Amino acid sequence: MRDILVREGVPDAVIHLEDRSTSTSENIAFARPILDALGLNAVIIVSDAFHLPRARLLARRAGLQVRTSAPPWKGARAGPQIKGVLREIPAYLAALLRLR
């Protein structure tokens, strides 16, 4: 993502990379100290539309003010999108019930 941001003109100095996480919950947990150090509490999460409800839930639980953004479905390959939706259903329920 850093490379995409730089290629699109975002100055490297304003990018604060979190590169340790292996899950959405870890990503939010590891990003929180970075945000705290910057004095920030509001975030925009950019991801696939099927992933955003769970990401929003976890970020709000971490005390963040959350907005979300997703690319349009038009033009997306159906197979990966269906797989993602099917994966997110149990993942969201697990997050909702605090099982993970």
For the chain, how many structural domains are there in total? Answer: 1
pLDDT of residue 50: 94
Does this model's pTM top 0.85? My answer is: yes
The answer, yes or no, to whether residue 100 has pLDDT greater than 80, is no
Q: What's the pLDDT tens digit per position in 40-54?
A: 999 999 999 999 999
Write down the pLDDT at residue 20: 96
Alpha carbons 76 and 83: distance in angstroms, whole number: 12
CB distance 55 to 24 below 8 Å:
yes
Give the distance from CA 9 to its chain's centroid.
21
- For residue 23, the one-letter residue type is S
pLDDT band at 76; cut points 50, 70, 90: confident
What would the mean pLDDT of 27-34 be, rounded to a whole number?
96
Q: Which structural domain range is residue 49 located in? A: 2-96
